[in-house]
Amino acid sequence: MIRKLNNGDLDLTVLEIKDVIDTKLLQTFQDNFAVGMNIASITVDKDGTPVTKSSSYTSFCMEFTQSTKVGENRCALSHKKGGEEAAKNLKPSIYTCHAGLIDFAAPILIGDYLIGTILGGQVLTSEPEEEKYRKIANEIGVNEEGYVDAVKKISVTNEKNVTAAAEVLYIVANALSKAGYEKLKLSIMSQTLSENFSQISATMEELSASSINVTNNQHNLSDEIVNVKKISIEINTILDSIKSIADETKMLGLNAAIEAARAGDAGRGFGVVATEIRTLSQNSKETAIKIMDLTNKIQESVDKTMDTSHATLETTEQQSAAIQEVTSNLMEVTTLADELNSMANNNKSYS
Amino acid sequence: MQILTFLLNDELFAIDITLVDTIENKMPITPVPNCKKYVIGLISNRGSVIPVINTSLILNDNNANNIFEKFIIINLGNEKLALAVNEIDDVLEIEEKTIENINNDEDFSIVNVNSNVITLLTYKQLKKI
């Protein structure tokens, strides 16, 4: 089963042979190898369940030894022992089975992790002793004569050949599993890459859109600021008018005071009014000057804001351009990642 | 009595208000050839043609670059004169006894207003023009 861990790595504890090795290819290889070397073999997963059909199994094993419950158990025990030995040492182990045949167990590893075992052998290194096999036949409850006949059909070879055969199976199966595993990793990585790039691409597009918004808003802001400046200049013009009205009022007040003085005692009341008018004109003028100070401050502020706004506008425009560039680069990279992904997935079918 | 104060070269001067007819904003002055140095020219005001006096000169201030913004129209008997000044300041009430003559000369009077000593243009002084 292909399962990813939280950190994105493959979970080796659930990885199976069929995930990394094309079992059809393995079967073909194993069958041809078995015929060529005259050595039986089968591939099992880490739980001992066969993942290939047995190749060139002898009738001694198939039809006799494993035909009874006792024989099958003894075989299973031998296999288990051999398999455990191989798994422990992480290299092929050669051993003699309960029935005296030479067997081997070659571990299929990913790194140091066992995903299966190639079991094989069923050969003899010397001519069988009839007495021994009659005894075993009785122990496991099969026909003595048939068992002896069957054992005589088993090919006799030397241990060197068996070791070499085990080594070849070990090397090829592990090369296949390693290549398969790498391709699987590649496939998963390229898929992740492709997905991530798609996401980044989408995010960048959003970013691009929002940066255009920012630029537009900044433009609007600049325009509004220009309006504020125009209005403050208009206010100053009006204030100039108010100031000259105040000056005129002062003149009026002074002339009124002169008239009042000329009228003597009769003009005293009017003189007070004239003074009030002068005070009023003075106040108006002072107020106008204060307002003018304020509008000048507004204009200074506006000028500073304009500078900042121009700088911001430049920056946001640069940002927009940069984002667009990144987006277009990203699209190329995304296309590459997609290609990589489809390549990695095509490769998988060849393994 | 009341006085009208005005500015010439940032200095405050005063004139008896009873001498003043009106005050006016500046207006075009028609230059007059071959006249006294302190006469700038003529203006037309309320139907009368009035000579304009460079007030700086009669007050012995030789700064000729004054910008005259205002005219004080005064009555000297049957005659009217326009005193060209920089700016009109105010109308003030003073005690007549605060007027002092310098060197017992009634032509040069000063008056103390709010602890500022101001030269007061008098009728006699103006009559000499």
Please, what is the average pLDDT of chain A? 88
Q: Are B23 and A278 within 8 A, CB to CB? A: no
- Class of residue A297 by CB neighbours under 10 A (exposed 0-12, middle 13-18, buried 19+): exposed
Q: What residues of chain B, 57 to 86, have a C-beta less than 8 Å from chain A? A: none
Tell me which DSSP letter residue B76 carries: E
Partner residue facing B20 (CB), from A258, A271, A275 = A258
Q: Is B7 on the interface with A (CB under 8 A)?
A: no
pLDDT at res. B107:
66
Q: How do residues B102-111 score in pLDDT, each as one tens digit?
A: 766 666 788 8
Q: Using CB atoms within 10 Å of the CB of residue A348, give its burial: 0 to 12 exposed, 13 to 18 middle, 19+ buried.
A: middle
- Give strand pairing partners of A43: A118
Show contacts of A67-73: CB within 8 Å, 24+ apart.
Answer: A67/A142, A68/A140, A68/A141, A68/A142, A70/A139, A70/A140, A70/A141, A71/A140, A71/A141, A71/A142
DSSP state of B96: G
Say yes or no to pLDDT of A70 above 70: yes
- B105 is in which domain, residue-wise? 2-127
Residue A174: per-residue pLDDT: 92
CB pair distance less than 8 Å for A251 and B88: yes
* Sequence-distant contacts of B106-111: CB under 8 A, at least 24 apart: B111/B3, B111/B14
Residue-level pLDDT at A190: 85
Q: What is the mean pLDDT of residues B30-54?
A: 90
* Mean pLDDT value across residues A85-101: 88
B125, pLDDT greater than 80? no
Buried b or exposed e, range B3-16, using 16+ CB within 10 angstroms: bbbbbbeeeebbbb
| Chain A residues closer than 8 Å to B4 by CB | 254, 258
Task: Kindly list the domain boundaries of chain A, sorted by start residue.
Answer: 17-157, 194-350
Q: Can you name the residues that pair with B23 across neighbouring β-strands?
A: B72
B2 vs A275: CB contact, 8 Å cut-off?
A: no
Q: How far is residue A76 from each of residues A41, A80, A133, A223, A340, measured CA to CA in Å?
A: 15, 6, 19, 88, 45
Find the CB nearest A254 among B18, B21, B91: B91
How confident is the model over A217-271, as pLDDT tens digits? 888 988 999 999 999 999 999 999 999 999 999 999 999 999 999 898 899 899 9
**Is residue B60 pLDDT above 70, yes or no?**
no
Tell me the average pLDDT across A3-15: 81
pLDDT value at residue A111: 83
Q: How confident is the model at residue B63 (pLDDT cuts 50, 70, 90)?
A: low
Cα B1 to Cα A134, A251, B16, B26, B97: the distances in Å are: 161, 20, 8, 27, 10
Residue A327, exposed/middle/buried by CB under 10 A (0-12, 13-18, 19+)?
middle
pLDDT at A347 over 60: no
- Do A23 and A51 contact (CB within 8 A), yes or no? yes
CB neighbour list of residue A279: distance below 8 Å, 6 or more residues apart: none
Q: Kindly state the average pLDDT of the residues B2-27.
A: 91
Contact with chain B for residue A275, Cβ under 8 A: yes
* pLDDT for B102: 74
B24: domain CATH number?
2.40.50.180
Nearest-CA distance from A252 to chain B in Å?
9
Q: Do A254 and B88 touch (CB under 8 A)?
A: yes
Instruction: Note the pLDDT of residue B20.
Output: 94
Chain B residues touching residue A262 (CB < 8 angstroms): 17-18
CATH class of A17-157: alpha beta
Beta bridge partners, B5, equal: B14, B90
d(CA A58, CA A72): 14
pTM: 0.59
Nearest CA in chain B to A244: B25
Q: What is the dihedral of CA A319, A321, A324, A329, to 10 degrees?
A: -100
Please indicate if any CB of chain B lies within 8 Å of the CB of A256: no
3-state secondary structure of B30: strand
* CA–CA–CA angle A132, A133, A138 (5° rounding): 105
Taking the CA of residue B107 and the nearest CA in chain A, the distance in Å comes to 23
Q: What percent of chain A has pLDDT over 90?
A: 34
The pLDDT assigned to B105 comes to: 64
Rounded CA-CA distance A225/A212 in Å is: 20
Name the closest residue on chain B to residue A279, using Cα atoms.
B90
CB-nearest partner of A261 from B18, B23, B88: B18
Query: Is B18 part of the contact surface with chain A (CB cutoff 8 Å)?
Result: yes
Both tokens of A303, joined, read 């000028």
**H or E element in which residue A198 lies:** helix A159-262
ipTM value of the model?
0.88
CATH architecture of A194-350: Orthogonal Bundle (1.10)
Could you tell me the pLDDT band of residue A40, with boundaries at 50, 70 and 90?
A: very high
Find which of B91, B93, B96 to mutate to test the A interface (most A CBs within 10 Å of its CB).
B91
- Joined together, the tokens standing for residue B94 give 């003073």
Task: Provide the number of structural domains found in chain B.
Answer: 1
